[in-house]
Structure 1
């Protein structure tokens, strides 16, 4: 049994983790602990407060008791707003507090892009344009070429959590770019686990979504290889490089 822990802000699309666990159909346990979201706002000051070290540290004991071998801060915007160096400090602090390997969804995207061997990506975000631009800047710090960035202007995670299949597909289609090798959907508040395979079929390219890459990253930290065809190209490969 491999157990991975996720610190998830508030309540929006956390049921994606249960769905992913079912789709993997393996001896993997994905434990979710909810952190204090503070103000639910896709606004830089609120996101910085959301990702504060004390808020994350408050959830690690519960994950330790659940037997987690690694922990992921399952929030993209609450990590990339710190910038590349600040986000690295955030996960270092989390690793020290948890006493186990740690990462965040932002780094999960960077590592997944590298793993797929691609350079050019498009971003289809639920966030306002200014927040989406922070994610593009973060990825550029990882050597990724962002060919297009689309923001949707949604302020709260609560609203994003109400989106279903039609809205997700529309977002992906409107945010894709012909030169992008991969499309990114960066919000962990967005339900995507059920749609990854369909999105890749519609777009004809790999699609990386926030909760999907968060689970992949947690398993990577735990040095576990678990295939999952219904979770897209990222999980179709079982090698780890």
Structure 2
């Protein structure tokens, strides 16, 4: 594992919308004071992040970018107690929901960042991650807003830097245009190969997929599209 690569020089990207939509429920608000300090990542702007220092002995390290309400993050953490699950979400109500899942599951392998995932990515060393999960990111469907989408060429290249050999990235969306957009950028990024061999590979949820409340709302213009890539 090497951290010799210079950090990316991308500029500001507002790839998410509201930070808070409603008043936090009393229980969630209390968890911000009691639980969050124990599971929060160190400030990624303060210096490099060492996954082994965050969870000594972790067999794998996963990153979920934009975990929404935290259902998927918590479920995967429960299934893989030996893996460090890093979750990033700027939406404070989502962070509150995730804290509730962490508490109810008594999860010890989750670390949360209530902010921009790209700050965390820049602070992680080369080859730090086994998996990157991007599930139903904001589609920014209007043409003039596509520059705000999370998946850009720079983001894809940074994911390649962070993945271990044979590490995987999963992208899921329920917007056709964003699926095409993401596929184009991931496929033209050196070091990634798309694992699909037939149409069912992107139409059918992987065996370990966890359905979230957002997915159940069916707000997009297509059934979920699952794109899986591997670092080569």
Same fold (TM over 0.5): no
From the two aligned structures, give the one with the greater helix fraction: 1
TM-score bin (small chain): 0.3 to 0.5
Q: Which has the higher contact order (CA 8 A, sep 6+)?
A: 1
TM-score by length of 1: 0.32
Larger Rg: 2
